[in-house]
Structure 1
Amino acid sequence: MLHELVLRNGRIHTMDGNGTVVSSVSIEGGRFAALGGDVQPRGPDARVIDLQGRTVIPGLIDNHIHFLRTGLLPGHDMRLLETSFSIDEALSVIRDRAGKVPDGELLSAIGGIHPGQFAERRYPTMGELNDAAPRHPVYLSISNWGPGATNVLAKSLLEDLGVPVGDDGTVAKGQDTVAAWEALSQRHSYEDTLRQTASQMDHALSMGLTNLFDMGGTIPAGGWLDPATGYNAILDLMREGRVPMRMRVYLPVLDKDASLPDLMSRLDYTFNEFGNDVLRIAGIGEWLIPNKLQREQPLPELYADSVRAVAERGWVYKQHLISLAEQREHLRVWEEVNRSVPIADLHWSMDHCYGIDAETIDRAIDLGVGISSHSSPYLEGTLKPPGNPPFRMILDSGIQVGGGSDGARISVMNPWVMFYYAVTGRNHAGELINPDQTVTREEILQIWTRPQGWFCKEERNMGGIAVGKFGDLAVLSADYFDEAAVSDDQIRKITSVMTIVGGRVVHNSGELGDHALEALPAC
Structure 2
Amino acid sequence: MDANDTVVSHVLIRNGRFIGVGNGPVRAQGRPFDVVNLRGRTVIPGIVDAHNHIVLVGNRPGWSTGAEDVFTIPDLVARYQERSADVPPGEFITTIGPISAMQFAERRLPLLAELDAVDRPVYIQAAQGGTRTNSLGKAWLEARGVVVAADGVIGGGATGSSRALQVMREQLLTPETRVRSANDALQYFATLGITTHRDGGAFHSELPSGGIANENTYTMHRPFLTLDREERMAARLRIDFLHQDPANDPNLPTLAPRLRNNFPFFGNDWLRTGGIGEFTGGGIEGLRAIARTGWRGEDHSLNLASAQSLIALREQVHAEIPIDQLRWIISHIPGFNEDLANRFHAIGGGVLVGWGPTRTGTNVGPPYRMLYDHPIQVGYHSDGGDITVISPWLNLYTMITGRNLAGAHILGDQNLTRQQALRLATADTRWFIWEDDLGSIEVGHHADLAVLDRDFFTVPDEEIYQIRSLFTVVGGKVVHDPGRWVR
For Structure 1 versus Structure 2, the TM-score category normalised by the shorter chain is over 0.9
Residue of structure 1 equivalent to 2:394: 417
1:506 partner letter? V
Q: 1:378 aligns with which of 357, 360, 364?
A: 357
Residue of structure 2 equivalent to 1:314: 294
Q: How does 1:441-460 map to 2 (within 5 A)?
A: 441-459=418-436
SS in 2 for 1:242: coil
Maintained 8 Å contact 1:343/1:368: yes
Q: 2:462 aligns with which of 467, 484, 489?
A: 489
Q: How does 1:18-29 map to 2 (within 5 A)?
A: 18-29=4-15
SS in 1 for 2:36: strand
Maintained 8 Å contact 1:130/1:151: yes
Q: 1:241 aligns with which of 206, 228, 231?
A: 231
Maintained 8 Å contact 2:50/2:433: no
Tell me the distance in 2 between the aligned counterparts of 1:480 and 1:232: 36
User: How far off its partner does 1:394 sit?
Assistant: 1.2
User: How far off its partner does 1:236 sit?
Assistant: 1.5
**Structure 1 residues 427 and 147 mapped into 2: Cα distance closer, same or farther (>3 Å)?**
same
Tell me the distance in 1 between the aligned counterparts of 2:192 and 2:367: 25
Tell me the distance in 1 between the aligned counterparts of 2:157 and 2:370: 36
SS in 2 for 1:91: helix
Q: 1:60 aligns with which of 16, 36, 47?
A: 47
Confirm whether residue 43 of structure 1 aligns to residue 30 of structure 2. yes
Tell me the distance in 2 between the aligned counterparts of 1:147 and 1:222: 12
Maintained 8 Å contact 1:146/1:173: no
Maintained 8 Å contact 2:452/2:471: yes
Maintained 8 Å contact 1:213/1:248: yes
SS in 1 for 2:35: strand
Residue of structure 1 equivalent to 2:278: 286
SS in 1 for 2:116: helix
Confirm whether residue 211 of structure 1 aligns to residue 196 of structure 2. yes
SS in 2 for 1:259: coil
SS in 2 for 1:110: strand
Maintained 8 Å contact 1:383/1:434: no
Tell me the distance in 1 between the aligned counterparts of 2:103 and 2:473: 31
**Structure 1 residues 114 and 204 mapped into 2: Cα distance closer, same or farther (>3 Å)?**
closer
Residue of structure 1 equivalent to 2:263: 271
Superposed CA deviations along residues 105-137 of structure 1, whole A, max 9, x for unmatched, are 111222222333322233223222112x1x201
Maintained 8 Å contact 1:72/1:185: no
Confirm whether residue 475 of structure 1 aligns to residue 432 of structure 2. no
Tell me the distance in 2 between the aligned counterparts of 1:205 and 1:492: 15
Q: How does 1:251-266 map to 2 (within 5 A)?
A: 251-256=241-246, 257-266=249-258
1:378 partner letter? P
Q: How does 1:258-407 map to 2 (within 5 A)?
A: 258-289=250-281, 302-374=282-354, 376-379=355-358, 381-383=359-361, 387-407=364-384
**Alignment TM-score, normalising by the size of structure 1:** 0.88
User: 5+ residue gaps in structure 1?
Assistant: 1-14, 290-301, 516-523
Residue of structure 1 equivalent to 2:476: 503
Maintained 8 Å contact 1:139/1:150: yes
Tell me the distance in 2 between the aligned counterparts of 1:100 and 1:66: 25
Tell me the distance in 2 between the aligned counterparts of 1:215 and 1:118: 27
Q: 2:213 aligns with which of 216, 223, 226?
A: 223
Superposed CA deviations along residues 14-58 of structure 1, whole A, max 9, x for unmatched, are x11322101111122211111111202432232221121111100
Tell me the distance in 2 between the aligned counterparts of 1:155 and 1:73: 19
Maintained 8 Å contact 2:109/2:129: no
Maintained 8 Å contact 2:124/2:133: yes
Residue of structure 1 equivalent to 2:115: 129
2:343 partner letter? R
Tell me the distance in 2 between the aligned counterparts of 1:246 and 1:446: 19
Q: 2:131 aligns with which of 148, 161, 169?
A: 148
Superposed CA deviations along residues 39-78 of structure 1, whole A, max 9, x for unmatched, are 0243223222112111110011000011111122121222
Maintained 8 Å contact 2:350/2:377: yes
Tell me the distance in 2 between the aligned counterparts of 1:166 and 1:174: 14
User: How far off its partner does 1:435 sit?
Assistant: 2.3
Residue of structure 1 equivalent to 2:169: 185
Superposed CA deviations along residues 210-259 of structure 1, whole A, max 9, x for unmatched, are 11001111176111131211111111221111113211111111212321
User: How far off its partner does 1:397 sit?
Assistant: 1.6
Bigger shift: residues 424-433 or 306-315? 424-433
RMSD between superposed Cα atoms in Å: 1.7
1:377 partner letter? G
Residue of structure 2 equivalent to 1:296: none
1:60 partner letter? I
User: How far off its partner does 1:85 sit?
Assistant: 2.2
Tell me the distance in 1 between the aligned counterparts of 2:52 and 2:100: 19
Confirm whether residue 431 of structure 1 aligns to residue 408 of structure 2. yes
Superposed CA deviations along residues 395-415 of structure 1, whole A, max 9, x for unmatched, are 122211110110112111211
Flag as ranges the 4+ runs of structure 1 deviating above 4 A: none
Superposed CA deviations along residues 70-113 of structure 1, whole A, max 9, x for unmatched, are 12212122212x23222222222222222332222111222222
Identity of counterpart residues, as a percentage? 37
1:396 partner letter? D
Tell me the distance in 2 between the aligned counterparts of 1:174 and 1:430: 31
SS in 1 for 2:373: helix
SS in 1 for 2:265: coil
1:216 partner letter? G
User: How far off its partner does 1:147 sit?
Assistant: 2.7
Maintained 8 Å contact 2:56/2:215: yes
Confirm whether residue 111 of structure 1 aligns to residue 97 of structure 2. yes
Maintained 8 Å contact 2:100/2:389: no
| Corresponding pairs, count | 477
